[in-house]
Chains A and B, each alone.
Chain A
Amino acid sequence: MNGLTVFIDGIGLLGPGLPNWDEARPILRGEAPLVLAAPTLPAPMALPSAERRRVGLPVKLSMAVGFEAAKHAGIDPAHLPNVFSSTGGDCDNCHMILEALASNDRQISPTRFHNSVHNAPSGYWSIATGCREASTSLCAFDATFAAALLETASQACAYGKPCLLVGYDTAYPDPLYSIRPIPYTFGIGMVLSPRRSKHSLAQIRLNLSTASPDSCESPQMESLRTSLPCARSLPLLNRLAAKKHGTVTLDYLEELSMQVELSA
């Protein structure tokens, strides 16, 4: 089986103690400690001011990692087909709709409603970047990262051009938090290209597998990996940061994992 072969040309990262890809690399290599603290999200300056006021955490988070990944890849985001992925979409917004619908005044504002669609961050992204390329938004609960990696790589191969993966996880407030805890916001961006470029960090070959997923060596990082769907990417990021080649197995679904072969 040949699998899908692509090059990783740029990474964006924003999670607890992981402020961006450059600063996160020594931490991912285990050379510096991971200090778990809620990340600071930059304002989405690329949006017109009227839109900027309407958006929540997922838009800020996805824009931060999307722009960072595109910048590292040296590509104008307007030219990148993209795959947005999240286990819950805009969880704050969803909670507020559910509260309103359970109250005596069920009116939902138009903005609240259009922000409720899972693809709202991808819509704001296309408005901010002027990108008219294909944009997908997907979810696979805890398996969302591997699903997005598969979709993005298959698009890059099918379209013959670089594509952007954006993953973002944010938390519901209570009461949903108590049954779906997301302890930290965590976002990842990744530009996958079908061709090697001067920005290529590594070649990866993806295959479906039944091998057990790899864990992270650091207990703190492992706790992130198991509690945040987007952080299921950490075993891959550990290797990319250390420039270590070989095979890493990422968590996907029951009876199915994602095998990633890294080479130069």
Chain B
Amino acid sequence: MQAIRLSHFTMSSALGAGLMPTLTRLQTQDGGIVRKRWETLDFDTCIGEVAGLDDFAIRADLARFDCRNNRLAQLALEQDGFAQTVREAIARYGRHRVGVFLGTSTSGILTSEIAYRHLDPVTGLLPPGHDYRHTHNSYSVADFVRHYFNLAGPAFVISTACSSGAKALGSAQRLIQAGLIDAAVVGGVDTLCLTTLYGFNSLQLVSDQPCRPFDAHRNGISIGEAASFILLEGVAAPQAGDILLTGVGESSDAHHMSSPHPDGLGARLAMEGALAQAGLQPQDIDYINLHGTATPSNDSAEAKGVEAVFGSQTPCSSTKGHTGHTLGAAGGVEAIISALALQHQFMPGGINTQELDPTLHCNYLLTNRSQAMHHVLSNSFGFGGSNCSLILSQVQP
């Protein structure tokens, strides 16, 4: 069976556009969450915003796709030479042999949020030119990327809330290994919108300060936005240094719509599934990038799941304190941070956390640690009890 290689990747988040600022700010433990009043929000909140989207110009031939989510997608695609690498892959394999599988939770719903403020007072109709299909519909971002590269291969959007971006890698893995495609652009894109900001507030899940994963006094998430793109390719003979997707584990909690199973049962099944697919034992995992949203219930459930599978010694951390919780993009963002950790041989320490919760029995890192690693695991869990764990492995010389 072909190995699945992360041939190239890029991300843009509150840490900046592209890998360079991302890596620098992880290495200096410098977060991107700020307090502000966003759009027409009627309260201040701490968010991880991407700079420059309000004035960003989407490619003229793709103007019908113009919305905050697709602007961020284009901004991210154009960093780190990513788009060029994808074009080279298309030239190698053909337009029909490259898929697009992306995660998002809210797509470009912000355009409909704004359009509903401007309904025709007589007819009640939406403002002329409001393009639901190319902005608000969940598929919009995969449609946009498929057109951006003039692709003719399979595509869809995965929308399983905060596990979306991770699960997109699993879909691509299966289709590459089944021989239907040779490569895929995967990851996730999610942007700030009022639905999310008011919604998480109604659930009282938003912190009044930059989120503090695994802190004894953690009190909620900070909402962020990000785009993460990975070019996955099937390779027969991986080379030393290659980063491979070796394990994908997916599960459902079957417990509650908006709170995790209290013992982290679903999380545990996902982690065990990823280990089984990778053919690894728990002690083979060098570092865990946690879902770590900083809600009391998520971190508690996740810690129990991690402890059940790995014991309490495996180094782990959440990078949500850096980026905020980027929802449908988070799985892709954190896969990329895990890949950076492998490439640059460092485990990113979590930030904002002042006092580790003594009831969470994990080896949670508060400072960066330099260390060579072979295998890292990344967790993503979402509303509806949707769980996904990924294992990335670096091919050794």
Contact = CB atoms under 8 A, between A and B. Distances in A.
A210 interface: yes
Interface residues of B, number: 65
Given A1-B179, A101-B113, A140-B142, A180 B158 contact: no
Contacts of B383: 114, 117, 119-120, 123
B180 interface: yes
Contact of A108 (B142, B178, B199): B199
Interface string B316-348: 000000000000000000000000000000000
Contacts of B156: 138-140, 143-144, 147-148, 151
9 contacts: A98-B109, A107-B198, A112-B199, A117-B161, A134-B251, A136-B160, A139-B139, A140-B142, A210-B152
Contacts of B59: none
Interface residues of A, number: 70
Interface of B: 42, 95-96, 105, 109, 112-113, 116-117, 119, 124-126, 130, 132-133, 137-139, 142-143, 146, 152-161, 167, 171, 174-175, 177-180, 194-195, 198-200, 202-203, 250-258, 265-266, 269, 273, 382-386
Interface string A114-156: 1111111011101101111111111111011001101100110
Given A114-B203, A136-B158, A136-B160, 13 more contacts: A2-B179, A102-B119, A108-B198, A110-B202, A116-B199, A119-B159, A130-B254, A138-B158, A140-B139, A140-B155, A174-B124, A175-B124, A175-B125
Contacts of B160: 117-119, 122, 135-137
A180 B131 CA distance: 10
B143 to A, nearest CB: 7
B180 A98 contact: no
B194 A101 contact: yes
A176 interface: yes
Contacts of A143: 139, 155-156
B384 A120 contact: yes
B382 A117 contact: yes
B202 A108 contact: yes
A217 interface: no
Interface in A155-170: 155, 157-158
Contact of B178 (A101, A134, A135, A154): A154
B152 A117 contact: no
Interface of A: 1-4, 81, 87-89, 94, 97-99, 101-102, 106-110, 112-120, 122-124, 126-127, 129-141, 143-144, 147-148, 150-151, 154-155, 157-158, 174-176, 178-180, 207-208, 210, 252-256
Contact of A138 (B133, B159, B195, B203): B159
